[in-house]
Amino acid sequence: MKVEGDLTYANANARWLELSREVVSHTEIDVSAVAKIDSAGLAVLTALRAHQEEKNGGSAPARRLIHPTPGILRLATAYDVAELFA
């Protein structure tokens, strides 16, 4: 799954609703096309990583966040979650 565009406070809820439905069938989340991100966007990514849909019995493994941009890595480092990005 590839996440594209902005992922910020202004659209975090809408993006969560969109992406949380799509992520269920994926094991990797490619974030190389995220253009703009803030702390709310980082929260969406970390939530997507561990999201388990109820109808799957909560058994989905944690997904890998791959190909982070330098901006994502700076933000993840500031919030001490850089290890979540492969």
**Per-residue pLDDT tens over the stretch 26-85:** 999 999 999 999 999 999 999 999 887 655 565 566 799 999 999 999 999 999 999 998
Global model pTM greater than 0.75? yes
CB within 8 A of 66, min separation 6: which ones?
28, 29, 30, 31, 32, 85, 86
Residue 55: its pLDDT value, please?
A: 52
Q: What is the pLDDT of residue 75?
A: 97
Band of the pLDDT at 18, cuts 50, 70, 90? very high
The CATH fold assigned to 2-84 is Transcription Regulator spoIIAA (3.30.750)
